[in-house]
A and B are shown apart, each in its own frame.
Chain A
Amino acid sequence: MTRAATRRREGNVPESKQPVIETRGLRKVFRDFWRRPTVEAVKGLDLTVNDGEVFGLLGPNGSGKSTTIKMLLGLLRPTAGLVRVLGAAPDDTRAKARIGYLPEVSHLHPFLTPRETLMYYASLFGMPRKEAVRRTHELLVMVDLEHAADRAVGGFSKGMARRVGLAQALVNAPDLLILDEPTSGLDPIGSREVKDLVRALAQGGVSVLMTSHLLADVEDVCDRVAILERGALRAEGMIADLLRQPDAVRFEVEGLDEPAAAAVRAELEAHTGRRVRQEYPAMSLERYFLQVVAQDGRQRTFALAPFLGTAPADTERLTPNSQLPIPNS
Chain B
Amino acid sequence: MLAVRAALRTRTVGALLALLAACVLVLPGVVKGDGTPEGELHILLTYTLGFAFGILCLATLWAACALFAAEIDSARMQLSAVKPVRAAEFWAGKWLALLALNGVALLAVYAGVYAQVRWRTHRDGWEAVEQPVSRRVAHPLLPTPRQEARETLDELRARNELPHGYSERTILRVLEEKAHEKYTEIPPGRQQAWRFRLSRPLRTSETVTVRLRFETEYNTRAQVTGICRLGCVETARAVEVPLDDFTLKEIEFAVDARAFGQAPEAGLRTFELSFEHTGDAQHAPGLLLRFRKDVALLTPGGSFWMNLLRAAAVHGSVLALLAAFGLTLSVCFSLPVAAFVATVLLVLTMVGNSVVQVVSEEDAKKWSNRAGVLVSRTVHGATRHALQAEPLAALTNGERLDAGMLRASVGWNALLLPLLLAAAGCAVLRRRELADAE
Contacts and interface: CB of A to CB of B under 8 A. Distances in A.
Given A75-B78, A103-B78, A121-B79, A126 B433 contact: no
Contacts of B82: 73-75, 96, 99, 101
A106 B80 CA distance: 12
Q: How large is the interface on A (under 10, 10 to 19, 20 to 34, 35 or more residues)?
A: 35 or more
A119 B2 CA distance: 9
Contacts of A50: none
B358 interface: no
Contacts of A94: 84
Contact of B84 (A70, A73, A103, A124): A124
Interface stretch (B5-13, B171-179, B249-257, B320-328): B5-13
A24 interface: no
Contacts of A97: 84
Contact of B435 (A75, A116, A123, A165): A75
Contacts of B10: 111
A103 B75 contact: yes
A75 B433 contact: yes
Given A108-B76, A112-B2, A125 B81 contact: no
B393 interface: no
Contacts of B434: 75
Interface in A107-123: 107-109, 111-112, 116, 119-121, 123
Interface in A10-54: 30, 38-39, 41
A75 B76 CA distance: 12
A93 B78 contact: no
A185 to B, nearest CB: 15
B81 A75 contact: yes
A77 interface: yes
Interface in B1-58: 2, 5-7, 9-10
B123 interface: no
Given A75-B434, A76-B435, A107 B74 contact: yes
Nearest to B9: A111
B437 interface: yes
Contacts of B5: 112, 116
Contacts of B433: 75-77
Interface string A153-186: 0000000000001001000000000000000000
Interface string B62-104: 0000000000001110111111111000000000000000000
A152 interface: yes
B265 interface: no
B126 to A, nearest CB: 44
Contacts of B124: none
Interface string B426-438: 0000100111011
Nearest to B90: A124
Interface string A48-67: 00000000000000000011
A39 B9 contact: no
Nearest to B89: A124
A264 interface: no
Nearest to A169: B79
B437 A93 contact: no
A276 interface: no
B78 A74 contact: no
Nearest to A77: B433
B9 A152 contact: yes
Given A41-B437, A77-B433, A101-B79, A109 B6 contact: yes
Interface in B407-438: 430, 433-435, 437-438
B404 to A, nearest CB: 39
Chain B CB count within 10 A is highest, among A66, A107, A121, for: A107
Contacts of A77: 433
Contacts of B85: 93, 124
A266 interface: no
Contacts of B81: 73-75
Contacts of B83: 96, 121, 124-125
A125 B437 contact: no
Interface of A: 30, 38-39, 41, 66-67, 70, 73-77, 91, 93-94, 96-97, 99, 101, 103, 105-109, 111-112, 116, 119-121, 123-126, 152, 165, 168
Smallest CB-CB A-B distances: 6 pairs? A124-B83, A93-B84, A75-B435, A97-B84, A96-B84, A111-B6
19 contacts: A41-B437, A70-B78, A75-B78, A75-B81, A75-B433, A76-B433, A93-B84, A93-B85, A96-B82, A97-B84, A101-B82, A103-B75, A107-B75, A107-B79, A111-B10, A119-B2, A121-B80, A125-B84, A126-B84
